[in-house]
Amino acid sequence: MKAAIIKEKNTPIVIEQIANPEPSLKEVVVDVQFAGLNHRDVWILKGQYAGIQYPMVVGSDLAGTYLGKKVIVNPAFNWGNIQTHQSNHFEILGLPKYGALAEKVKVPESSIHPLPEHLKPEEGASLPLAGLTAYRALISRGQAVKGEKVLITGIGGGVALFAMQFALALGLEVYVSSSDENKIQKAVSLGAKAGVNYKNEEWEKDFVKNFGGVDLVIDGAAGDGFGKLVKICNPAARIVIYGGTNGMITQLIPQQIFWKQISILGSTMGSETDFKNMLTMVEKHQIHPVIDQIFPFDEVNEAFNRMSSGKQFGKIVLGIAP
């Protein structure tokens, strides 16, 4: 089969023929039609992820066929039976095991789910990792409630967009942030109430002046600007962190957290229950993933460059065997 292989960090990905995967007990092989990219894949390419072993076939998201049926795969393996946190055996498709950027991939049989009927395969390949992460952050951890005000940072990325779509479906008042005014306007056109450019000095003061405080924040950046998120929070608000692209959190004022009774919560991926509930929501509200661009398989390096640029609005998808 053909597979996109990372042989060393920061080197071009090559498409080569490798042996077909051989499933073990309780594993099956899925024929891949489309695969979705995530920032995780770029970090692995750059050598910025724990446990990397090259050569590697990355990719956590896919839509394909199994026994003639259209399927998607939950990329979160071995979560365990406790809903509050993952087990010590938890892993994500695409590292350490070979992932979705190949014509075939082996996965646990229990991870296979029918493709929602209203979705095209390329949309299905956009959904699993980002949709699961957004669902757990917003609902399982964030406990979002209809009528609340939520700020979703870094709009344009897959998780942020799904969080926005899920929040709108639940009846929340959604605000977004970005450093790109075009992305903010696109989010507003999809239903967000308004947005702010976090590059603007003292944006948090303008936000509170114009819109008031928020009850919930969904953040994937952390970094030096995290303290401003605390400042726009209403009493008893929740801040859920699912990523840390901007690095260490600094300049936090403890009094602003404890006096306002603010909860700061970590979240990553999600359980099998979260995944099933996410699919139920997507089907109930007929949610369609936002796709930025679909690349043919032989343009895998161009797709990774697009992801690395940060210019995308929505998911980047590769047509493996469309």
143 CA to centre of own chain: 18
* CATH code, domain with 40: 3.90.180.10
152 and 232 assigned to the same domain: yes
What share of the chain has pLDDT > 90, as a percent?
96
> Cα–Cα distance between 62 and 315 in angstroms, integer?
12
Section 109-128 average pLDDT: 98
262 and 137 assigned to the same domain: yes
Section 285-296 average pLDDT: 98
The residue among 189 and 201 whose pLDDT is bigger is 189
For 188-200, what is each residue's pLDDT tens digit? 999 999 999 999 9
97 and 177 assigned to the same domain: no
164 and 222 assigned to the same domain: yes
Which class for 216: exposed (0-12), middle (13-18), buried (19 or more C-beta within 10 A)?
buried
> How many other C-beta atoms lie within 10 A of the C-beta of residue 202?
9
Evaluate the omega torsion of the peptide bond into residue 55 and state whether it is cis, within 30 degrees of 0. Answer: yes
Q: Does residue 143 lie within any of the structural domains?
A: yes
73 and 52 assigned to the same domain: yes
Q: Does residue 280 lie within any of the structural domains?
A: no
**Number of domains the chain is built from:** 2
Q: Does residue 61 lie within any of the structural domains?
A: yes
User: What is the per-residue pLDDT for 115?
Assistant: 98
142 and 192 assigned to the same domain: yes
Domain that includes residue 160, residue range: 133-266
> Cα–Cα distance between 169 and 286 in angstroms, integer?
10
Single-letter code of the amino acid located at 107: V
User: What is the per-residue pLDDT for 53?
Assistant: 87
Section 127-136 average pLDDT: 98
192 and 147 assigned to the same domain: yes
Q: For residue 105, what pLDDT band results from cuts at 50, 70 and 90?
A: very high
Which of 134, 131, 250 is closest to 229 using CA atoms?
Answer: 250
Which of 221, 244, 222, 269 is closest to 85 using CA atoms?
Answer: 269
Lowest mean pLDDT among 16-25, 123-132, 245-254, 255-264: 245-254
Section 89-114 average pLDDT: 96
162 and 120 assigned to the same domain: no
* CATH code, domain with 147: 3.40.50.720
106 and 199 assigned to the same domain: no
- Chain-wide mean pLDDT for the chain? 96
Q: pTM for the full model?
A: 0.96
37 and 92 assigned to the same domain: yes
